[in-house]
Structure 1
């Protein structure tokens, strides 16, 4: 089965790693067809195990190899396609849309946080198919009230986020690798 691992906190705040080295860790942990997409910690691979088992195996391997507390979220090709196709926001050059990948029910925790946060013009959030989407004007995402949740230490094992365009790139890479 094809999966993508979304690593949390890669190449930010001193946690720097080369994606080629991350791919080697995945291969050493028994994953096949391993490739990275972008430098933000999106690793596509094949495995014949359940996502929960893979999460445990890969977090342990990453933590040991890079000497940090690794948090990652494993999603199947079908789930990734769901993230991409369920985006409730129209494309707008002045806005970013982020999708949050995480533990079960994290979308409700995020919506509660969003509803309590002060908002800027054109900022919105929606839950579609149990996926949390956040639309924000382009700029300093982490400076927005809700954006500050991204860096909270008490939430680091709960979710990670990606720009919606990342899902399109991941799906294209999966399709390309499937043809080889």
Structure 2
């Protein structure tokens, strides 16, 4: 068995309320083991037979849609992958951990897709952007709340669904892997 984390998008935002106890129970019924949630925003640690993360992501999204009627995206990563994505961020230590985010993506954008995102974002805000491994690194220098750099904006330019977490949340998730 391998330990994974699923970072679910659209959970407990925009009216998609979901109790983490209900989510744990639903996943345990679908052969996910040692299910544990971290923070009430769709972060789920679990054990599962090793398989490609794309397959697990689809299974998780299907369970949430089928059981709770919520259309979600799941980014599935191992502890090592989370640690690597933090290490590759050029914004680590440059700003407050709550302002530095990783937008976890379903796939790897090309350089041309990233360049399009940067060009289309020019003049829209002060955020700093950098490409990552199946991720987009973002420093929300002036805060997240008023930013025009939304998930929809990002996904349209990069061509992949995604979900974001700040450095503080990612660090808590990594701690829980132990």
Establish whether TM, by shorter chain, passes 0.5: yes
Q: Does 1:143 align with 2:153?
A: no
Choose 61-70 or 155-164, whichever is displaced more. 155-164
Taking structure 2 as the reference length, what is the TM-score of the superposition?
A: 0.83
Pairwise CA distance, 1:144 = 2.3
Q: Does 1:69 align with 2:71?
A: yes
Corresponding residue number in structure 1 for 2:167: 164
- RMSD across aligned positions (CA): 2.6
- Unaligned residue ranges in structure 1 (runs of 5+): 176-180
> CA distance change for structure 1 residues 45 and 98 in 2, over 3 Å: closer, same or farther?
same
Pairwise CA distance, 1:61 = 1.2
Spell out the pairing of 1:6-45 with structure 2 (5 A cutoff): 6-45=7-46
Q: Does 1:113 align with 2:114?
A: no
Kept in 2: contact 1:107–1:131 (CA 8 A): no
Corresponding residue number in structure 2 for 1:104: 107
Kept in 1: contact 2:102–2:138 (CA 8 A): yes
Higher share of residues assigned helix = 1
Corresponding residue number in structure 1 for 2:4: 3
Kept in 2: contact 1:106–1:159 (CA 8 A): no
Q: How many residues in Structure 1 have an aligned counterpart in Structure 2?
A: 171
CA deviation vs aligned residue, 1:97-142 (integer Å, no higher than 9, x gap): 1101112124754552233212544x31112445321101243x25
Q: Does 1:86 align with 2:88?
A: yes
- Unaligned residue ranges in structure 2 (runs of 5+): none
> CA distance change for structure 1 residues 112 and 157 in 2, over 3 Å: closer, same or farther?
closer
> CA distance change for structure 1 residues 19 and 94 in 2, over 3 Å: closer, same or farther?
closer
